[in-house]
Amino acid sequence: MFVQPFSLGLSLIAASSLALSSLARAEPESGQIAIAVAKLLEQGHYTRHPLDAAISGQLLKTYTEQLDYNHLFFTQKDIADFEKKYGTGLSDEVMLGNLAPAYAIYDLYKKRAEDRVVKVKEMLKKQKYDFTSNRTTELNRSKDAWPKDEADADQLWANRIEGELLSESLNDKATEPPQQVVTRRYDRLLRTLKEQTKEDVMKFFLNSLALTYDPHSEYLSPSEMENFNINMRLSLVGIGALLRSEDGYAKISELIAGGPAQMDGQLKVNDKITAVAQGKDGKFVDTIDMRLDKVVEMIRGKKGSVVRLQVVPADAKPRKVIDIVRDEVKLTEQQAKAEIIDVKTPDGEMQKLGFLTLPSFYADMERGRGRNAKSTTRDVQALITRMTKEGIAGLVIDLRRNGGGSLEEAINLTGLFIKRGPVVQSKDANKQVQVMSDRDGGAVSYAGPLVILTSHLSASASEIFAAALQDYNRAVLVGDRNTFGKGTVQTMLEVGRFMSPFGFKTADAGSLKLTIQKFYRISGGSTQLKGAESDIVLPSPFSALDVGEAALKGPLPYDEVKPAEFEKWSGRPFDLTDLRARSAARVADDMDFKFLLEDTQRVKERIAANTMSLNKAKREAEVAAEKKRTDDRKAFRLAVKRAEPLAYKLALEDVDKPALTLVKTDEAEKAKLRAATRPERDGSTPGDDLLDEDAVGNDRIDPVKFESLNILADLIEQLRRPAIARVKE
């Protein structure tokens, strides 16, 4: 995601159906919002594609698949009826502000889902299962046809429910009967359907319209836009509690360190919120069965104001009321952070290496460039200054889970590592190419050996940063074969701005994230679809998954522009052949990489098969084999312990401290890391139960991280060797 300034003419609001003076100061009506969004897409999107019959057909397909991703609720007859009614004219209805087709399609989806849940619950009550058949159930039906008819759907669902029950019966940590767990799962679905409003349906439909243009255009509700801003500035005003929905309650899942709730001490993890009141005298509003985003909205508020929570404590004590004063909460876990790692050279000397983790390219869009505004570049510069003071011999920057962020921050961060020059090129809908350059006047914050660690998840701003340093011959790229492949630029537009003559509050109409440009490397090629290719490729858990721009629906094509003029880094060129050979030898001899390759192959096979057995004996054998594999690996790791280098934590709050903290990872921390980095597994994703649990989310067993440090050490040693003069023949 990139944020660029953008403006459009008032032609976007020229629709005569909106020219009603009586609408002044009214709340925006869904039809008016739809017209504004449609015109923004037609006139502002990079492709400038009109809302014609082709878009209409694609919009219908996108909307129905967004509603019924796994093709389980609609039937082929339903889809045929939709195509007959709306296939070529849906875009015309949108341009007229008529969302009746969107509501009609959703209403049928809701009816199909509600009817299905009734059947599922009847099945769970009456059906007896012995799990002795040799049948299977599909795990992912998103590419399959919709069921032919109701009878076909019944059979699909019979297999699906049997599979869910079998999975629950094999869960040795379960505390409830399988039928009860599965019943509650579908009760949650009913609750979710009941919570949806017409505004939610409108949002869903307009988002489908935006996605029809490309995978990164998106319509955002006001609350979603606020969440986007929070993620960019890494702060919010609230109480500092993370919530999850459970059985109709908003349950505390985590208290953010340093936040008002954690400092106050009354609210505890697993407490359930039953009601929320504003101020010391406000009336309580019941939150049981309320949508989680609505509860969150009520808890957030102005800095210094009071929110009162009615709480059911986790320790079964009587209900109580907790008053908390809202304050700014810093999301420090998403900030740049680093480690200084002591490693031995082949000569036996100790050498300090820096390892900097950058989760995103964040920036405070509201405060701009002010001193107190959050900035990726400013934070990374502070960490580098301290690491340089500690005497690091080289630096790894980890972008493996960095999905992008601010374009300006990507450019500015690149400037910390080069003297001056272009960083990225962009092209707009008029084919005008702009070269964007580092503007720091030639100052270099770090000039030493540099490795950039990437993965298939490294996207957008990450790709600009990595590609620029690769083009300058400034860094060695290490990781997956290539990055995500997102080479497009988005801007954020408040839809209400384009309805301004009617006096709407701009935030009330939501926002449109709109693709307006494509970006290109300074060497001329785009990162769109291709990404940035690694100089040294390592085995990766992501290589088994269909991840990247090419896996998305409707991506923009790859193309090239003229290379920009730039001077490569003045240091010695890298001998990549030597670095690759050394790394390949280590990888071939590393058991953790062997485990990773085994897991990757099994995930690939599971995804290809896309089925789950409904035979309990067979599934038990699979579980037993998985447990044995896990136990064998644990035994191996205990017998052959990886030498752990000393590592010192360097967070932003540590940069001015006289001494740094030695990193220690105990079992409790390992469990927390695993929980934070793994999704809850329910067997619905092919291969989600095949990854090595002991190696996921645990920096102590991260072979890719350790190998990137080994490559950095090789690079340092290579650059220190005397240069060999070559005579031109």
User: At a CB cut-off of 8 Å and minimum separation 6, what does 532 contact?
Assistant: 454, 458, 463, 466, 467, 470, 477, 482, 483, 521
Burial of 377 by CB count in 10 Å (0-12 exposed, 13-18 middle, 19+ buried)?
buried
Length of the chain: 729
pLDDT band at 506 (very low <50, low <70, confident <90, very high): low
Domain spans, the chain: 51-213, 235-330, 334-488+515-610+644-718
The rounded distance, in Å, linking the Cα atoms of 228 and 206 is: 18
Q: Which of 217, 455, 460, 526 is catalytic?
A: 460
pLDDT band at 416 (very low <50, low <70, confident <90, very high): very high
How many other C-beta atoms can be found within 10 angstroms of the C-beta atom of residue 621?
12
Q: Is the pLDDT of residue 89 over 90?
A: yes
Four-point Cα dihedral 179, 181, 182, 188, nearest 10: 140
Mean pLDDT of 350-376: 85
Q: Can you tell me which residue has the tokens 């300074």? A: 522
Contact 330, 319 (CB under 8 A): no
Q: Which of 39, 203, 486, 513 is catalytic?
A: 486
Alpha helix stretches (DSSP H) within 341-434: 376-390, 407-414
Supply the pLDDT for residue 367. Answer: 61
Mean pLDDT of 506-528: 93
Return contacts of 445-449, CB within 8 angstroms, 24+ apart: 445/381, 445/384, 445/385, 445/416, 445/417, 446/384, 446/388, 446/395, 446/416, 446/417, 447/417, 447/571, 448/392, 448/393, 448/394, 448/395, 449/393, 449/394, 449/395, 449/712, 449/715, 449/716, 449/719
Contact 563, 710 (CB under 8 A): no
pLDDT band at 494 (very low <50, low <70, confident <90, very high): very high
Residue 30 falls in the annotated catalytic set: no
Mean pLDDT of 296-324: 91
The rounded distance, in Å, linking the Cα atoms of 235 and 257 is: 13
Q: Is the pLDDT of residue 234 over 90?
A: no
Q: pLDDT tens digits for 126-145?
A: 999 999 999 999 999 999 99
How many other C-beta atoms can be found within 10 angstroms of the C-beta atom of residue 52?
12
User: At a CB cut-off of 8 Å and minimum separation 6, what does 275 contact?
Assistant: 284, 285, 286, 287, 309, 310
Q: pLDDT tens digits for 224-233?
A: 888 888 888 8
Query: Residue 587: enclosing H or E segment and its boundaries?
Result: helix 576-588
- 6: DSSP letter: -
Supply the pLDDT for residue 342. Answer: 94
Task: Determine if the pTM surpasses 0.75.
Answer: yes
- Retrieve residue 442's tokens: 């030639």
Burial of 659 by CB count in 10 Å (0-12 exposed, 13-18 middle, 19+ buried)?
exposed
Q: Is the pLDDT of residue 668 over 50?
A: no
The rounded distance, in Å, linking the Cα atoms of 572 and 370 is: 38
The rounded distance, in Å, linking the Cα atoms of 4 and 6 is: 6
Percent of the chain with pLDDT strictly greater than 70? 88
Contact 260, 302 (CB under 8 A): no
CATH superfamily of 235-330: PDZ domain (2.30.42.10)
Q: pLDDT tens digits for 136-185?
A: 999 999 999 999 999 999 999 999 999 999 999 998 888 889 999 999 99
Quick one: how far is CA 633 from the chain centroid? 30
pLDDT band at 689 (very low <50, low <70, confident <90, very high): very low
Q: Share the mean pLDDT of the chain.
A: 88
- 555 vs 659, residue with greater confidence: 555
Angle at alpha carbon of residue 177, lines to 174 and 183, rounded to 5°: 110
Q: Is the pLDDT of residue 453 over 90?
A: yes
Q: Is the pLDDT of residue 687 over 60?
A: no
pLDDT band at 348 (very low <50, low <70, confident <90, very high): confident
Going by DSSP bridges, is the β-strand pair 511-520/218-220 parallel, antiparallel, or unpaired?
antiparallel
pLDDT band at 518 (very low <50, low <70, confident <90, very high): very high
Supply the pLDDT for residue 136. Answer: 96
Q: Is the pLDDT of residue 700 over 80?
A: no
Supply the pLDDT for residue 87. Answer: 92
Q: Is the pLDDT of residue 400 over 80?
A: yes
CATH of domain 334-488+515-610+644-718: 3.90.226.10
Mean pLDDT of 36-56: 96
Q: Is the pLDDT of residue 579 over 60?
A: yes
714, 401, 435: which is closest to 581 by C-alpha? 714
Contact 59, 209 (CB under 8 A): yes
Q: Which of 471, 535, 692, 714 is catalytic?
A: 471
Residue 486 falls in the annotated catalytic set: yes
Contact 547, 401 (CB under 8 A): no
Going by DSSP bridges, is the β-strand pair 646-650/337-344 parallel, antiparallel, or unpaired?
antiparallel
Residue 352 falls in the annotated catalytic set: no
Q: Is the pLDDT of residue 19 over 50?
A: no
The rounded distance, in Å, linking the Cα atoms of 175 and 332 is: 35
